[in-house]
Structure 1
Amino acid sequence: MHGHDLKHIKWEGRNVHVHQYSTQTSVNDGHSHTVQGVTSPAKNSMGHVHKYEGTTTFDDGHVHRFSGTTGPPIYLADGTHYHMIAGTTTFNDGHMHQYSGWTGKNY
């Protein structure tokens, strides 16, 4: 598993609060997939969450869809924070996968 730090994205001249994420699914039917992307924007409030959705990597001849809402922010001593993601992919090719991980930090 790996993550990325993303400080700011500009949209229409404003900073937008988003996080990148990347994690592996469980191994089911002899393979796993990567779940990765960028969360939806959120307001910079203490208890905010982000929505996320996407398609896994193409492995073993197929993909799965995933979507969810992050957990609340987990603040660090340096003022940054991250969020937990977890869920289950869609049922494709006779199976589904579980995933869990963390977003990258944001300021």
Structure 2
Amino acid sequence: MKKKASRKRQTHVHEFEGSTKLAEEGADRHNHRFAGVTGPVIRSGNSHIHEIDLSHTDFLDHFHNLKKIKTGPAIPVGNGKHVHFVTGMTTQNDEHRHQFNFATLIDRPLV
């Protein structure tokens, strides 16, 4: 007897882009830029969140990762659309880390 393949229903994702906060002092003071797409919906209470797992920011003689970052719950913006607020810290590299906060772009912007 063949087992039926289970199919999980695909859900939406969000694009995002942002800049880290400044780190280090003097001539070494700098920030990084990043962009990507979240993972699919993760149910959370009566809302949902998404996970961000970005392997590289831009490169300024080093880069950072945004690993296993969770968004906040959905924030309605009208017409059935929503965004998510994200706050966190990059991985450490070159003996420092960067804080960041940003909002995702809306889900399905053209639909």
Structure 1 residues 10-29: Cα deviation after superposition (integer angstroms, max 9, x where no partner): xxxx8640000101001112
Structure with bigger gyration radius: 2
- Which amino acid in structure 2 is aligned with residue 95 of structure 1? H
Name the residue aligned to 2:98.
97
Unaligned runs of 5+ in 2: 1-8
Higher relative contact order (CA 8 A, sep 6+): 1
Post-superposition offset of 1:72: 0.2
Name the residue aligned to 2:39.
40
TM-score, with length taken from structure 1: 0.78
Name the residue aligned to 1:24.
19
SS of alignment partner, residue 48 of structure 2: coil
- Which amino acid in structure 2 is aligned with residue 66 of structure 1? L
Name the residue aligned to 2:3.
none
Post-superposition offset of 1:51: 0.5
Name the residue aligned to 1:52.
52
Name the residue aligned to 1:62.
62
Q: Compare 38-47 and 78-87 and name the one that shifted more.
A: 38-47
TM-score, with length taken from structure 2: 0.75
In 1, the alpha carbon distance for the partners of 2:75 and 2:12 equals 15
Judged with a 3 Å threshold, the aligned counterparts in structure 2 of structure 1 residues 43 and 65 are, in CA distance, closer, same or farther, namely closer
SS of alignment partner, residue 28 of structure 1: coil
Judged with a 3 Å threshold, the aligned counterparts in structure 2 of structure 1 residues 43 and 64 are, in CA distance, closer, same or farther, namely closer
Identity, % of aligned pairs?
37
In 2, the alpha carbon distance for the partners of 1:49 and 1:73 equals 7
- Which amino acid in structure 1 is aligned with residue 86 of structure 2? I
Unaligned runs of 5+ in 1: 1-13
In 2, the alpha carbon distance for the partners of 1:44 and 1:95 equals 33
Superposition misfits of 4+ residues, deviation over 6 angstroms? none
